[in-house]
Amino acid sequence: MFKLGEKVIFNMKSGYSLTGLDNFSLDDKCLQLTNLGNIYVSKVDYLGKDIEEYLVYEHKDCTGILNSEIDLDGINIFTDSLNFKFVRGEFETELDLSLIMILDLEEFIHIKDILGDSIFNFINDNIILKMDDSSPIIGNIEKAQNRFLFNSGRYRYEFILSDIESYRLLDNGVEIRGYFYVDKESKVFRRVEFTGHNIDKFIPENIDEIVNSNKKIGRIPNDDIIAFCKVSGTIREKEYLLKSMFIIRHDDLLVLYEKKEKKEILCEDCSNFSKIDFKNGNYIIFDELNVFNLYIDEENSRKIGLNKINNISGGIVGFTKEKRPFFIDIDDKAINLYKSREKKILTIDKSTISNISIHEESESCLESYVETEIRFKDKFIRIILKRNVAKELSENIFSEYQNSLLNTASIQEVYENWIKSISDMVIYNFFGHIYDMDVVHKKIDKNSSLNDLVDVINELYNEIHIQMENIDCISVNMSEILYNIERRYFRSVGIEVDLQEIEKLEKFFFEIRNNIKIDLTDIAHCIENISYMLLPSSMRKSSIRMLKESEVYRVDLFSRQAHKKLKHLIYNMLPHYIAKTIIKIFDTYKLIYKYYETIDEIEVKEELMERIKSAHIFRQFTTNNNSTVLRKDIIDDLYSITKFGSMKVDSEFYYTGGYR
């Protein structure tokens, strides 16, 4: 029954009907379409065997075609007159039958890919769009200049004529090939096909001339991954701003092509590239010669393999807050910033730099980078540098300042500066984080709502317990840290010294710790009077709505009392603790100065200045990743409130009638 090479490519047990039949039931019959375009109707799986009866429509021998209508759900086939043959044993007769058949889009595409579309005759204006292996889409082609514009009803798909590298006319459509970026899909498609009625009216008359004159990338192997991206920066001394490009992964090569010009911009082995990954497909790419921004769909970045490229390891690349990259070169006299290896954008004379401060980056992907503020002349810049580069730069600038003092400052002056640095470090670690709680108490004023008060007491209660643990750790370790600094140095120069005075600091630190914990505990107890409002943020509003009038009063009362006690701790008690600490540190270190006098003066000054430099760098960093406040600003504030506290003692604020 089958011709040579004929085989079934599609069958359906339901979804079709034949009218004009007598004495032939379709109940147990299957419609089967072969690779020759022939249609058989017989019992399921009986084709190719000796069967009693079947129907056949032979496509090549007959002139009938399948009238088809494209709708949103698929293809409706309704043909009034098809010349079937009815075969029963040796008996054959021709029948004029009407066929109704419903195909979904995937079934239609499957048939079309094997047979082509010549057996279909589309009679309505709907069009099928098929892009590579993606699901077919129903819509219409609209008239447009220099492009095919396909409207699905929900989205518009544009295919620029200048992107066509070849085309092929079909019986009921057209196939175009090239590299077509579809924004909705975030994909680059290589083959696009339009199928339907009267498509030729949308094809320009001069299509051959257009395609022949188009710039072309050429054939890219099917296994190569191609994606759309945008590039800003300088590549091979040419500047780009959000330039549309294709990025191609070919084996171990990464290739960049200008999308419009179809021109290769860069082709390098993947191992030559390194990156800064800002997440969400936002990268800085560096290949030792060029540095630029690359923006790409995140899924495409993984397919291309950008996530597997090494992170930039050296300190030669920095970037702005807007994530614009640059090269940085630091020599003995200046800091130079470059757009590219050849294009300098800024030179800062080191002698004009007045300060360098360092802010921790809050983005987890930038843990090895810090925001660095450089003040010079009457200007300043803020740039993001590798942590080690920023630190070395700050050390370098401070070292030049130190070197200028090395021959002019006495050893006593240098030593007092070292004691000041120790004092700064101690008071920051003991009191800096508690002072930073001032941010919490400033959230409360006389107009604060109940919701605000509840949020603050929850935040404050948690912070109090964090600070209690923090001050325990500091009290245990601080004297040992100070002791080890001095012991290691004196051992290195071969001098035995008695450091009992520093060891005695432990007792003093524990006294300070006990006093602060009493103050913090007092605030915590105040909040615990309304412990029923210590809740997760998601539960607070509903709990507030359920409060009785008396409970509302208690929340307001104890929240504001806790606020007053915190203010009392920061502005009345801390100045006293800080003043005592500063005096204790200076008195202690003056007692061991005699050991430094026995060492060569230049050697001692160099050692102390190195320590002072480290302390300076410590002060130049922000307090934490989420803050823009520098440690040095907190330290300055601590000295300020201490000075203000002493001014109150000297004023009539505390006058009791005694000797003045």
The pLDDT tens digits for 157-197 are 999 999 999 999 988 889 999 999 999 889 999 999 999 98
Stretch 236-258: mean pLDDT? 95
The band of 130, judged by pLDDT with boundaries at 50, 70 and 90, is very high
Structure-model confidence comparison of residues 265 and 656, the more confident one: 265
Find out whether 563 and 522 touch, Cβ atoms under 8 Å: no
Q: Choose the most confident range, by mean pLDDT, from 329-343, 369-383, 470-484.
A: 470-484
For 261, the token pair is 């010009």
Give 616's contacts (C-beta < 8 A, 6+ positions apart): 394, 398, 421
**Which one is predicted more confidently, 72 or 530?**
530
Q: pLDDT for 406-427, tens place per residue?
A: 667 788 888 998 999 999 999 9
Confidence of residue 405 (pLDDT cuts 50, 70, 90): low
Return the minimum-mean-pLDDT range out of 12-21, 125-134, 299-308, 513-522: 12-21
Percentage of the chain modeled with pLDDT above 70: 92
Q: Give me the pLDDT at residue 51, please.
A: 63
pLDDT at 400: 64
Instruction: Give the per-residue pLDDT at 49.
Output: 56
For residues 537-550, average pLDDT: 92
Average pLDDT of span 78-90: 85
Q: What is the mean pLDDT of the chain?
A: 88
Evaluate if residue 615 carries a pLDDT over 60. yes
Does the pLDDT of residue 267 top 70, yes or no? yes
The arithmetic mean of pLDDT across residues 632-660, rounded, is 64
d(CA 649, CA 91): 125
The tokens for 73 are 């759900």
Q: Residue 657 pLDDT more than 50?
A: no
Give the pLDDT band (50/70/90) at residue 270: very high
Q: Quick: pLDDT tens for 272-325.
A: 999 999 999 999 999 989 999 999 999 999 999 999 999 998 889 999 999 999
Q: What average pLDDT score do residues 608-636 get?
A: 79
The upper half-sphere exposure of residue 462, i.e. CA atoms within 13 Å in the direction of its Cβ, equals 11
* Whether the predicted pLDDT of 341 surpasses 50: yes
Q: State residue 443's pLDDT score.
A: 73
φ, ψ of residue 78 in degrees (nearest 5): -145, 105
Handedness of CA 366, 368, 373, 376 (dihedral sign): negative
- The values of phi and psi at residue 267, to 5°, are -145, 110
Q: Residue 646: what pLDDT?
A: 57
Return the structure tokens found at 357.
Answer: 């401060």
